[in-house]
């Protein structure tokens, strides 16, 4: 056998070995999820007296997450984010835990239930139970929080405009099925004297906020809806519209006042001084994954993932459409070898990549397999084309169907949010595309004849959460959910606003079915590894 033949053999053997390590690594990752015992060690209770250091790391099923306070250590005592200011013993931190990427994982929710049961204020009846009228302390009363990490969000019906006046909605809403009993309840329901609709949603990350509420949004217009972005009276800036899954709070200040009144039962809400302090905290706290159990550190070998890069990044930059790198922190791991190994069709010709990455020769096999997999997943996210269809308002804006990539929607550099802004009816809460959820309420929406219909669902729609339409009263907004940032994912399963994807694999499977992409198992693993590294 000649030298070159031997090298081919060696390369093939290495590839096989690396692939099997990667496969084992991913199996082990799944095992870990199932077996490692959840603890409350890293939970910060409301009112705790702690110092949150400038850079703190927390373990999660696939590695560690880092929380970085750019302004230095934070003393929790007396701090309005950490103090129980309302009547139910809760603080912001009750639902936005550093160890869970300033959101909340079902793992830690279950650990808290196991440790303290309903005595943990997290389970307060107001929204930590399926309905406040249920018997406190029984698991079944809190099943949505314990099973899917969902809090009850009661929204007034009909919706109110920013001045508090009732909006005349374009549709009628009927409760078809009400497993929690809350939407048909005499006190809390749609037919009560103070009509509300209860939907159930995941907490969103309270970190990396400069991307969620950028000081300088992309343009004057919501380019897809053709409306002018509202002005923030406090700053005079145009608002991005990416706060909360239905965009109901125009600003973070409005959001936190609302949160303190509702989640925390705080009469009058946060004082202006407290608002300023919380806002300041939110704008200096960054969270992202920093190590992977199989792959090691995520900020070596040419990559620089982690929260510091988020501090240094520029908000509201569009990646996808201008072909700027979506996650520049990962680019360093992409080599020509990886780019030429892909078997799918890229949307555009891939740019050239270097032959090797920093320190590649000394990578351990498992590390090499992991970095390759993340790099392939990243390329897939940014370049693998598929036909996106029937997504309001994306397709109305660029064609239905349109040949695009994951990054068409997740287009903001470093966070994967949507600059446009992000409310889209991806179909996570509207049937027939929603993952069946018999534990959630089911609503029927009947849009009035003289109003523009939903572009792909028409005038009779079944949904578990009408999303943006509960705020605007518009038929065409049914099912629209604001895209979350894609950081710290490993620390905060489950995913999607309704908690319908229990892990990242389920997220990818949803897209695979929704858009008939045809991913191979290896491609799915690559996407999962890529997202887990963020």
Partner 1 sequence: MVARKWMATLGVVISTPALAQSLAAPSPGRPVSFVACPEFRNTARQCWLAESGGKTYYIGAFRIGTPPQLLHKVLVEGVAHDDQSSCGGINIDPVQISPLPELDFSCDAVLPDNGTAPREGSLFDLPPEVLARNGGDVPTPPPLTKNMAFAVTLDFDRTVLNLVNQAKVELIARTIMASPVARVIVTGHAGQSRLDDGSVMREAPEVAARRMAVVRDALIAIGVPEKIVDGRIADSLPEGSSVLGPESREVTIDVVLARP
Q: Does 434 bind ligand HEC (CB under 6 A)?
A: no
Min dist CB 353 to ligand HEC, Å, is 21
Q: What angle, 0 to 180 degrees and rounded to 10, lies between the N-to-C axes of helices 3-35 and 521-532?
A: 70
Residue 366 contact among ligand HEC, partner 1, none, beta carbon within 5 to 8 Å by kind:
none
Q: Does 218 bind partner 1 (CB under 8 A)?
A: yes
Q: Does 507 bind partner 1 (CB under 8 A)?
A: no
Residue 395 tokens, joined: 């397709």
Phi, psi of 7 (to 5 degrees): -65, -40
Q: Is 131 helix (H, G, I), strand (E, B) or coil?
A: coil
Residue 82 contact among partner 1, ligand HEC, none, beta carbon within 5 to 8 Å by kind:
none
Residues 423, 429 contacting (CB under 8 angstroms): no
Q: Does 392 bind ligand HEC (CB under 6 A)?
A: no
Min dist CB 14 to ligand HEC, Å, is 28
Q: Binding residue for ligand HEC (CB under 6 A) from 154, 178, 511, 525?
A: 511
Q: Does 226 bind partner 1 (CB under 8 A)?
A: yes
Q: Does 486 bind ligand HEC (CB under 6 A)?
A: yes
Residue 279 tokens, joined: 């806002």
| Sign, CA torsion 199/201/204/206 | positive
Min dist CB 118 to partner 1, Å, is 47
What residues between 267 and 296 interact with ligand HEC by CB under 6 A? 278
| Sign, CA torsion 171/246/150/277 | negative
Min dist CB 242 to ligand HEC, Å, is 6
Residue 230 contact among partner 1, ligand HEC, none, beta carbon within 5 to 8 Å by kind:
partner 1
Q: Does 408 bind ligand HEC (CB under 6 A)?
A: yes
Strand partners, 462: 444
Instruction: Give the nearer residue to partner 1 in terms of CB position, either 142 or 210.
Output: 210
Residues 6 or more apart in contact with residue 343 via CB below 8 angstroms: none
Min dist CB 323 to partner 1, Å, is 5
Helices marked H in 447-503: 469-472
DSSP letter, residue 179: T
CA distance 16 to 24: 12
Element (H, E) at 31: helix 3-35
Element (H, E) at 199: strand 196-201
Q: Does 318 bind partner 1 (CB under 8 A)?
A: yes
Residue 391 contact among partner 1, ligand HEC, none, beta carbon within 5 to 8 Å by kind:
ligand HEC
Residues 6 or more apart in contact with residue 64 via CB below 8 angstroms: 57, 58, 289, 290, 291
Residue 398 contact among ligand HEC, partner 1, none, beta carbon within 5 to 8 Å by kind:
partner 1
Rg for the chain (alpha carbons), in Å?
Answer: 23
Residue 196 contact among partner 1, ligand HEC, none, beta carbon within 5 to 8 Å by kind:
none
Stretch that binds partner 1, among 92-100, 108-116, 183-191, 450-458 (CB under 8 A): 450-458
Q: What angle, 0 to 180 degrees and rounded to 10, lies between the N-to-C axes of helices 521-532 and 365-383?
A: 100
What residues between 319 and 378 interact with partner 1 by CB under 8 A? 320-323, 347-348
Residues 194, 437 contacting (CB under 8 angstroms): no
CA distance 347 to 85: 51
Q: Does 462 bind partner 1 (CB under 8 A)?
A: no
Q: Quote the strand ranges of 256-382, DSSP E.
A: 285-292, 296-297
Binding site for partner 1 (CB under 8 A): 216-221, 223, 225-231, 316, 318, 320-323, 347-348, 387, 389-390, 395-404, 450, 452-453, 455-456, 458
Binding site for ligand HEC (CB under 6 A): 90, 92, 94-96, 127, 151, 153, 201, 203-206, 212, 243-246, 252, 255-256, 259-260, 263-264, 278, 381, 388, 391, 394, 406, 408-410, 424, 426, 428, 481, 483-484, 486, 489, 495-498, 507-508, 511, 527, 531
């Amino acid at each position: 056998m000649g030298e070159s033949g031997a090298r081919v053999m060696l390369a093939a053997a290495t590839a096989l070995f690396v692939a099997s390590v990667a496969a084992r690594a991913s199996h082990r990752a799944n095992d870990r999820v199932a077996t490692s015992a959840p603890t409350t060690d890293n939970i910060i209770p409301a009112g705790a007296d702690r110092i949150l250091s400038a850079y703190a790391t927390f373990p999660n099923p696939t590695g560690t997450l880092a929380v970085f306070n750019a302004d230095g250590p934070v003393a929790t005592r007396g701090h309005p984010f950490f103090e129980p200011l309302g009547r139910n013993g809760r603080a912001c931190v009750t639902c936005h835990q550093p160890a869970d990427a300033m959101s909340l994982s079902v793992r830690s929710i279950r650990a808290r239930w196991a440790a303290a049961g309903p005595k943990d204020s997290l389970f307060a009846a107001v929204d930590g139970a399926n309905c406040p009228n249920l018997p406190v302390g029984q698991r079944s009363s809190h099943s949505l929080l314990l099973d899917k990490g969902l809090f009850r969000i009661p929204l007034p019906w009909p919706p109110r405009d920013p001045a508090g006046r009732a909006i005349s909605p374009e549709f009628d809403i009927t409760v078809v099925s009400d497993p929690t009993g809350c939407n048909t309840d005499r006190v809390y329901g749609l037919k009560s004297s103070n009509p509300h609709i209860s939907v159930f949603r995941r907490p969103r990350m309270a970190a990396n906020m400069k991307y969620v509420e950028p000081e300088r949004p992309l343009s004057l217009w919501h380019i897809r809806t053709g409306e002018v972005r509202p002005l923030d009276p406090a700053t005079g800036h145009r608002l991005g519209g990416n706060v909360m899954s239905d965009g109901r709070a125009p600003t973070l200040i409005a959001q936190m006042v609302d949160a303190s009144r509702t989640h925390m039962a705080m009469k009058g809400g946060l004082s202006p001084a407290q608002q300023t302090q919380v806002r300041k905290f939110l704008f200096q706290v960054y969270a992202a994954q920093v190590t992977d159990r199989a792959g090691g550190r995520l900020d070596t070998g040419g990559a620089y993932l982690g929260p510091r890069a988020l501090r240094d990044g520029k908000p509201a930059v569009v990646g996808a459409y201008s072909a700027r790198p979506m996650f520049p922190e990962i680019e360093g791991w992409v080599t020509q070898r990886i780019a030429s190994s892909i078997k799918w069709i890229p949307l555009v010709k891939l740019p050239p990549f270097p032959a090797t990455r920093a320190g590649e020769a000394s990578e351990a096999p498992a590390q090499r397999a992991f970095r390759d997999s993340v790099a392939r997943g990243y390329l897939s996210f940014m370049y693998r084309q598929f036909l996106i269809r029937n997504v309001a308002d994306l397709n109305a804006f660029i064609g239905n169907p349109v040949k695009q990539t994951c990054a068409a929607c997740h287009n903001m550099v470093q966070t994967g949010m949507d600059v446009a802004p992000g409310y889209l009816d991806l179909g996570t809460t509207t049937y027939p595309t929603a993952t069946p959820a018999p534990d959630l309420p089911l609503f029927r929406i009947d849009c009035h004849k003289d109003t523009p219909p939903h572009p792909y669902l028409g005038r009779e729609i079944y949904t578990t959460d009408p999303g943006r339409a509960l705020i605007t009263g518009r038929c065409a907004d049914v099912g629209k959910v604001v895209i979350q940032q894609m950081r710290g994912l490993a620390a905060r399963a489950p995913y999607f606003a309704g908690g319908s994807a229990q892990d990242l694999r389920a997220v990818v499977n949803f897209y695979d079915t929704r858009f008939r992409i045809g991913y191979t198992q290896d491609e799915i693993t690559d996407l999962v590894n890529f997202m887990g590294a963020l």
